[in-house]
């Protein structure tokens, strides 16, 4: 007998208390071990939507809801007695007559409140567009809409669409929301009548076979991570696809890029038991988060974990260099202004500011490893706003030549120099330690880091997958990946289903970014057609007259969330820089809660509100988020503006500062509050303030 678990069961399990969860899990394990004659009392539910629904006794109050047939047993819900039976009464499991996918369908007649409210009786009804009114029944059903919901869908208008969609299976939700946004999605695959409806790709996203107790234990382990078990068909196809060259997975915040990257690592490791893999990203903090998530996904498969190296690209490069050549004496960027000033004193004055010299060295000469005047003269300056004449470049090249000599004399190498040395050695000798490389948040990798990854991959099939979003680029100026040997034409794919952020928060945050962004190689990333699969309250935007008033309103908002049932660790406050931490801490103190500060380990402390900078917000998710201190001089950050070498480069700084606000806002799942002191950041105008 096949033993399956539904995503609705794991969702319901997460809402129980810890003791209730433990009891429910033990009962589930007993059921899997003995599905035909379980120990606890089991009885068939009469007068419910599905004649195959059964209720399994956990204790005096908790019940498991099962779907039972001659060949399979499916865990679909768990809850308190009355609530669990009421939930089952309103649902049925059936094969969709058109697509052939097994669906969990909410019975239309059981919905107590009408999905569409009647028009006000007074006066003529307003002419409200109904986007699906012209769609026929066969066409709507081809997208997975259950037959009994077709009429309701056709009556839906812009204000009721999300409410109606919330009652439908996920594939139908996605199709309707994309159609309403002007997209033309392909209908789901229609299976043959004799095929097992549970094997349909859309059924696989909500029902999963549990082959043994260990797999069930991992699926029910706390904290529950739904992404470890259930994947969207689009995500699964990317995880399992074979590519002849480097590939990229893009998508706006919350669409599951990191999920695809993690599943891809596990898929490749299991497909090739001898393969060595590198899972990397631009920061040590995010690498730690990836390590935690990969362990969750791999479960007890220690042999798999042992074949995957998980490090930031910087940490791995330093380790790799030490093993091959011995450790070099690295000079980092914060030391370069002092060294450049010393060189300029020796070479004489130049016609541009010292900041221009530093930026030109960091972003052009050192980044691209330019060693000759001809290389510097002829390099394509894509993405660079500062324009230098030939004479200015000639005098700067004299400075850079002297600078390289000074570094060599002191026995120093730059980080890009180190990466270039490793890249050249790999290209010459072809001894990559990895068969497959997966890089998350790739938009924030530097020129030298991207060149190093290309050398590690060596152009082999399935050797390099890059996951990222240009709209979340906050550390690097744009550059051409193709110029480094990473040609993504025909192998760039975008995810469009947002699982993390409510429709209201996503729609508001998307206003911070253009509808599409084109990279330096001409590949466009469009944000059109991205849809969120759940509703929530509208984001709140509040401005205060002073810090004290802002602290009070943030404290009151956090207090409201606690009264709504939010745990302290489900709430986070993000600010632009660490100097703003005191404002956030005072707000938490005023709410009479404890707080913790976001560090490199990304640990969320139980019972404490997390406080962190926008730069460290990537990879995190909270039920409620406050983006605080969005004052005019904090966002864009005035200290960063002061470092701009030329006014024409301000646009790039403003873009990345805007991206930071987008990243912070999209960490929120259900509730978002954005605050500041007047005069507020100009970016808040786009958010509606």
**What is the rounded distance in angstroms from the CA atom of residue 531 to the CA atom of residue 498?**
6
Dihedral (Cα; 444, 447, 452, 458), 10-degree rounding: 100
The predicted model gives 620-645 an average pLDDT of 87
Q: Residue with structure tokens 């060149």?
A: 451
The predicted model gives 258-273 an average pLDDT of 94
Phi, psi (5° rounding) for residue 448?
-65, -35
SS3 content of the chain, % helix, strand, coil (to 5): 45, 15, 40
Percent of the chain at pLDDT exceeding 70: 91
Q: Residue with structure tokens 């005072």?
A: 586
Q: Which of 317, 311, 250 is nearest to 280 (CA)?
A: 311
| pLDDT given for residue 223 in this prediction | 45
Query: 193 falls in which pLDDT band (50, 70, 90)?
Result: confident
277-281 and 436-439 strand pairing: parallel
DSSP lists the bridge partners of residue 625 as 572, 672
**What is the rounded distance in angstroms from the CA atom of residue 115 to the CA atom of residue 190?**
28
Q: Cβ(91)–Cβ(103) under 8 Å?
A: no
Classified by CATH at the fold level, domain 2-101+196-220 comes out as YaeB-like fold (3.30.2310)
Q: Which of 502, 441, 448 is nearest to 474 (CA)?
A: 441
Phi, psi (5° rounding) for residue 18?
-60, -45
Query: 254 falls in which pLDDT band (50, 70, 90)?
Result: confident
Q: Chain centroid to CA 593: how far? A: 28
The H-or-E segment that residue 308 falls in is: strand 308-312
Omega prior to 636 cis, within 30 of 0: yes
| pLDDT given for residue 128 in this prediction | 63
**What is the rounded distance in angstroms from the CA atom of residue 569 to the CA atom of residue 567?**
6
| pLDDT given for residue 472 in this prediction | 85
464-467 and 247-250 strand pairing: parallel
CA distances for 446 relative to 314, 339, 399, 415, 427, angstroms:
10, 22, 23, 11, 19
- Whether the per-residue pLDDT at 450 is higher than 50: the answer is yes
**What is the rounded distance in angstroms from the CA atom of residue 668 to the CA atom of residue 544?**
22
| pLDDT given for residue 113 in this prediction | 54
CA distances for 574 relative to 84, 153, 232, 286, 687, angstroms:
38, 39, 30, 17, 17
Q: Cβ(36)–Cβ(108) under 8 Å?
A: no
Q: Cβ(623)–Cβ(570) under 8 Å?
A: yes
CB atoms within 10 A of CB 157: 16
**What is the rounded distance in angstroms from the CA atom of residue 473 to the CA atom of residue 446?**
11
Sign for the pseudo-dihedral over CA of 32, 34, 38, 43: positive
Q: Residue with structure tokens 């390590």?
A: 291
Q: Cβ(62)–Cβ(43) under 8 Å?
A: no
Helices (H) and strands (E) in the chain, counts: 25, 26
Per-residue H/E/C for 587-651: HHHHCCCEEEECCCCCCCCCCEEEEEEHHHCCCCCEEEEEECCCECCCCCCHHHHCCCCCHHHHH
| pLDDT given for residue 151 in this prediction | 93
The predicted model gives 403-418 an average pLDDT of 94
| pLDDT given for residue 123 in this prediction | 53
DSSP lists the bridge partners of residue 72 as 2
The residue count of the chain comes to 689
Q: Residue with structure tokens 């900078």?
A: 613
Does domain 231-325+418-526 bear CATH number 3.30.230.10? no
Q: Cβ(219)–Cβ(10) under 8 Å?
A: yes
- Whether the per-residue pLDDT at 124 is higher than 60: the answer is no
501 CB-side CA count, 13 A: 31
Does domain 537-685 bear CATH number 3.40.50.300? yes
- Whether the per-residue pLDDT at 287 is higher than 80: the answer is yes
The SS3 call for residue 161 is helix
Ramachandran assignment for 633, one of left (phi > 0), alpha (psi -120 to 50 degrees), beta (any other): alpha
Q: What angle do CA 384, 386, 388 make, to 5 degrees?
A: 115
Query: 48 falls in which pLDDT band (50, 70, 90)?
Result: low
- Whether the per-residue pLDDT at 399 is higher than 90: the answer is yes
**What is the rounded distance in angstroms from the CA atom of residue 229 to the CA atom of residue 370?**
47
Q: Residue with structure tokens 């012209």?
A: 134
Phi, psi (5° rounding) for residue 592?
55, 45
pLDDT in tens, 195-230: 889 999 999 889 988 776 776 776 676 444 667 777
pLDDT in tens, 588-598: 999 999 888 87
| pLDDT given for residue 169 in this prediction | 93
The predicted model gives 268-287 an average pLDDT of 93
The token pair at 553 is 């309103």
Predicted structure pTM score: 0.84
Strands (E), 157-294: 207-209, 247-250, 277-281
Per DSSP, the residues of 226-243 read: GGGT---HHHHHHHH---
The predicted model gives 52-70 an average pLDDT of 90
571-575 and 608-613 strand pairing: parallel
Q: Cβ(446)–Cβ(416) under 8 Å?
A: yes
Mean residue pLDDT of the chain comes to 87
């Amino acid at each position: 007998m096949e033993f399956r678990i539904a995503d609705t069961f794991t969702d319901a399990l997460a809402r129980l208390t810890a003791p209730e969860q433990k009891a429910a899990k033990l009962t589930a394990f007993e059921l899997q071990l003995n599905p035909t004659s379980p120990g606890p009392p089991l009885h068939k539910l009469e007068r419910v939507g599905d004649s195959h629904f059964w209720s399994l006794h956990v204790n005096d109050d908790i019940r498991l809801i099962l779907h039972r047939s001659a060949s399979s047993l499916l865990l679909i819900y768990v809850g308190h007695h009355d609530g669990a039976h009421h939930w089952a009464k309103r649902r049925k499991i059936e094969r969709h007559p058109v697509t052939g996918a097994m669906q969990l369908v909410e019975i239309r007649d059981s919905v107590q409140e009408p999905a569409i409210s009647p028009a006000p009786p007074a006066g003529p009804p307003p002419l409200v567009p109904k986007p699906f009114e012209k769609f026929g029944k066969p066409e709507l059903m081809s997208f997975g809409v259950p037959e009994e919901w077709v009429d309701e869908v056709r009556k839906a208008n812009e204000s009721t669409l999300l409410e109606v969609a919330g009652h439908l299976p996920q594939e139908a939700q996605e199709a309707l929301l994309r159609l309403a946004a002007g997209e033309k999605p392909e209908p789901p695959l229609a299976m043959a009548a004799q095929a097992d409806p549970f094997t349909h790709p859309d059924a696989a996203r909500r029902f999963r076979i549990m082959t043994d107790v260990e797999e069930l234990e991992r699926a029910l382990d706390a904290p529950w991570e739904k992404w470890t078990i259930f994947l969207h068909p689009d995500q699964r196809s990317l995880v399992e696809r074979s590519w002849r060259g480097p590939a990229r997975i893009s998508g706006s915040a919350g669409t599951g890029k990191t999920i695809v990257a993690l599943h891809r690592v596990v898929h490749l490791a299991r497909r090739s038991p001898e393969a060595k893999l590198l899972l990397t990203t631009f920061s040590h903090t995010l690498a730690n988060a990836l390590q935690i998530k990969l362990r969750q996904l791999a479960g007890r498969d220690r042999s798999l974990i042992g074949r995957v190296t998980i490090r930031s690209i910087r940490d791995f490069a330093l380790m790799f260099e030490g093993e091959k050549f011995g450790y070099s004496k690295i000079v980092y960027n914060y030391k370069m202004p002092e060294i450049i000033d010393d060189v300029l004193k020796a070479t004489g004055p130049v016609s541009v500011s010292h900041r221009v010299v530093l930026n030109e060295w960091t972003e052009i000469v050192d980044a691209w490893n330019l060693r000759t005047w001809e290389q510097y003269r002829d390099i394509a300056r894509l993405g660079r706003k500062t324009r230098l004449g030939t004479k200015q470049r000639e005098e700067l090249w004299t400075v850079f030549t002297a600078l390289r000599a000074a570094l060599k004399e002191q026995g120093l190498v730059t980080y890009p120099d180190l990466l270039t040395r490793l890249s050249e050695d790999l290209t010459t000798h072809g001894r990559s330690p990895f068969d497959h490389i997966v890089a998350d948040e790739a938009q924030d990798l530097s020129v030298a880091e991207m060149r190093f990854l290309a050398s590690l991959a060596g152009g082999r099939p399935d050797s390099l997958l890059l996951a990222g979003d240009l709209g979340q680029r906050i550390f690097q100026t744009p550059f051409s990946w193709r110029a480094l040997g990473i040609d993504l034409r025909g192998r760039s794919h975008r995810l469009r289903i947002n699982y993390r952020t409510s429709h209201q928060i996503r729609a508001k945050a998307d206003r911070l970014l253009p509808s599409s962004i084109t990279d330096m190689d001409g590949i466009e990333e469009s944000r059109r057609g991205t849809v969120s699969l759940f509703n929530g309250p509208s984001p709140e935007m509040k401005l205060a007259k002073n810090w004290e008033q802002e602290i009070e309103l943030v404290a009151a908002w956090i207090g409201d969330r606690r009264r709504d049932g939010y745990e302290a660790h489900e709430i986070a406050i993000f600010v632009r820089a660490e100097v703003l931490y005191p404002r956030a801490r005072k707000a938490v103190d005023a709410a009479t809660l404890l707080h913790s500060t976001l560090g490199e380990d990304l640990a969320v402390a139980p019972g404490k509100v997390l406080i962190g900078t926008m730069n460290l917000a990537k990879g995190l998710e909270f039920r409620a988020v406050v983006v605080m201190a969005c004052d005019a001089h904090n966002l864009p950050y005035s200290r960063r503006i002061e470092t701009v070498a030329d006014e024409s480069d301000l646009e790039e700084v403003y873009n990345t500062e805007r991206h930071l606000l987008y990243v912070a806002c999209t960490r929120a799942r259900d509730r978002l509050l954005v605050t500041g002191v007047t005069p507020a950041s100009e970016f808040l105008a786009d958010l509606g303030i």
